[in-house]
């Protein structure tokens, strides 16, 4: 498969630890759990993706459900989802009165895939400009999108604990050699920080729990010695710049577990 095909697919898709702490199955036995969101919640980047939404049992949501045996588990997260997709498709499918809801959303709205594509194929200056374009969207348009999404979740599940998880910084910036220049890596990470800060602000305003995964991914970005994220991936191309199995197990799952405990 050519590099161009891989990048086109990227745009269109937008050793595991055994000691991760978790709530006991008894504590979760009566919990109705719903996993909403985009590819970072569906499990893209990990083995075993299936269906149009590319859901994987290695996703943090599926792993939490397996470890904790909730009363019900609705896995509604879907690769490529934007806030409008959560509003139009995922929230309406939610079981009314859910007790626990988790979500990652906003990255596709802010242009994650087109930004990465631009940075892979263009100059440092063009990459930085594209990241700044995304930052402007996050500052001016995304807050309203998140507000509408969070309102819909609260209305559908008024008594639920809602956990909004962050995105990681994609790139390691200590490695001298990488598939992107240092300028591009820092620009993309800066864009991720801006996005996460806005998501945290809006989630907190709604009384939701913000679960920050960035600390868990520190030292494990793309090009690190032990990355928790995939770099540019040929087969399957949608795995590019998404967490690998370790990323979900050691990065995302502990953050959800801590937020729920």
Element containing residue 27 per DSSP (H, E): helix 25-28
Q: Where are the beta strands (DSSP E) in the chain?
A: 32-37, 72-75, 100-104, 161-165, 209-211
Give the burial class of 206: count Cβ atoms within 10 A of its Cβ; 0-12 exposed, 13-18 middle, 19 or more buried.
Answer: middle
Identify whether 242 is a catalytic site residue: yes
Q: Are 44 and 238 in contact (CB under 8 A)?
A: yes
Out of 14, 39, 42, 56, which one is annotated catalytic?
Answer: 39
Catalytic residue among 13, 42, 79, 242: 242
Assess whether 39 carries a catalytic annotation.
Answer: yes
Determine the 3-state secondary structure of 110 from DSSP. Answer: coil
Catalytic residue positions? 39, 242
């Amino acid at each position: 498969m050519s590099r161009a095909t891989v990048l086109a697919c990227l745009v269109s898709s937008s050793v595991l630890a055994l000691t991760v702490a978790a709530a006991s199955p008894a504590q979760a036995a009566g919990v109705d759990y719903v996993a909403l969101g985009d590819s970072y919640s569906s499990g893209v980047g990990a083995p075993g993706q299936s269906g149009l939404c590319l859901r994987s049992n290695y996703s943090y949501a599926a792993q939490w459900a397996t470890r904790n045996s909730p009363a019900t588990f609705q896995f509604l997260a879907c690769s490529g989802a934007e806030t409008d997709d959560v509003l139009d498709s995922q929230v309406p499918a939610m079981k009314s009165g859910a007790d626990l809801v988790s979500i990652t959303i906003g990255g596709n709205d802010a242009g994650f895939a087109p930004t990465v594509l631009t940075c892979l194929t263009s100059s440092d200056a063009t990459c930085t400009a594209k990241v700044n374009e995304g930052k402007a969207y996050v500052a001016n348009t995304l807050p309203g999108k998140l507000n509408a999404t969070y309102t819909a979740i609260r209305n559908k599940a008024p008594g639920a604990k809602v956990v909004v998880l962050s995105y990681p910084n994609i790139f390691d910036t200590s490695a001298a050699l990488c598939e992107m220049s240092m300028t591009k890596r820092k620009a993309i990470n800066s864009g991720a920080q801006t996005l996460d800060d806005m998501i945290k602000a809006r989630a907190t305003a709604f009384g939701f729990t913000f679960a920050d995964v960035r600390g868990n991914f520190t030292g494990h970005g793309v090009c690190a010695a032990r990355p928790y994220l995939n770099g540019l991936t040929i087969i399957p191309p949608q795995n590019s710049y998404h967490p690998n199995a370790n990323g979900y197990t050691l990065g995302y799952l502990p953050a959800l577990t801590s937020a729920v405990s």
